[in-house]
């Protein structure tokens, strides 16, 4: 009524139910159990090179306007005796994205959780997102992208390791060439 619309109109009759169902799904991260999600996917392994899962699609809701923001998440870590199953990385991103969020907190939650669960030498998370609260209202800048990062451990302390990660997430062809240690200018913490 307040919007100038007729709530008894055919197209709107079931809208409250649909909105409720959509909001339950879009905020299902609150009910998710991180430990249950990572269940049986933590493995002991003798591997100390960078592990990267990049271009993870995510969708979240801005806690200020309840409008979507969405984009790509890139996650890396350097194991220290334990690795996380690769398919669990996107699931972890979804748990925290499916909450009322701000991008900065979302980025940190992903990085901190990986740190807590596998105690790696370092974790890096970069998120790039389009925020509808900026593009369809407010400043109305449709082509703006917000980027946030969380660099922990060796990714914060070692510029070469940080740069290797940043190069690998921006240059997709690097991932398909085989060993990245043979690429000039890139070095891992173990060098």
Q: Check if the beta carbon of residue 32 is closer than 8 Å to that of residue 95.
A: yes
Q: Is residue 15 part of a domain?
A: no
- Of 106, 121, 119, the C-alpha closest to 161 is 121
The closest alpha carbon to 72, from 90, 57, 62, 94, belongs to 57
Looking at the annotation, which residues are catalytic?
62-65, 103, 131, 133
CA 125/CA 167 separation, integer angstroms: 13
Domain count, the chain: 1
What does the pLDDT average to over 131-160? 92
What's the pLDDT tens digit per position in 118-134?
Answer: 999 999 999 999 999 98
Query: Containing domain of residue 109, as a range?
Result: 32-171
Residue 56 lies in a domain: yes
- Residue 188: inside a domain, yes or no? no
Reported as half-sphere exposure (CB side, CA atoms, 13 A), residue 187 has a value of 8
CATH of the domain at 147: 3.30.1130.10
Residue 69 belongs to a domain: yes
**pLDDT for 43-87, tens place per residue?**
999 999 999 999 999 999 999 999 999 999 999 999 999 999 999
């Amino acid at each position: 009524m307040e919007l100038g619309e007729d709530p008894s109109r055919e197209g709107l009759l079931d809208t409250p139910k649909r909105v409720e169902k959509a909001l339950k799904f879009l905020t299902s991260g609150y009910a998710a159990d991180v430990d249950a999600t990572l269940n049986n996917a933590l493995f002991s392994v003798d591997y100390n090179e960078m592990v990267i899962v990049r271009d993870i699609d995510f969708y979240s809701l801005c806690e200020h306007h309840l409008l979507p923001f969405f984009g790509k998440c890139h996650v890396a870590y350097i194991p220290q005796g334990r690795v996380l199953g690769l398919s669990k990385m996107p699931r972890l991103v979804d748990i925290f994205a499916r909450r009322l969020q701000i991008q900065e907190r979302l980025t940190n939650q992903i990085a901190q959780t990986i740190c807590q669960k596998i105690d790696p030498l370092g974790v890096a998370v970069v998120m790039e997102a389009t925020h509808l609260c900026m593009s369809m209202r407010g400043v109305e800048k449709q082509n703006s992208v917000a980027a946030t990062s969380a660099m922990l451990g060796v990714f914060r302390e070692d510029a070469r390791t940080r740069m290797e990660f940043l190069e690998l997430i921006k240059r997709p062809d690097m991932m398909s060439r085989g060993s990245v240690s043979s690429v000039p200018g890139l070095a891992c913490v173990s060098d």
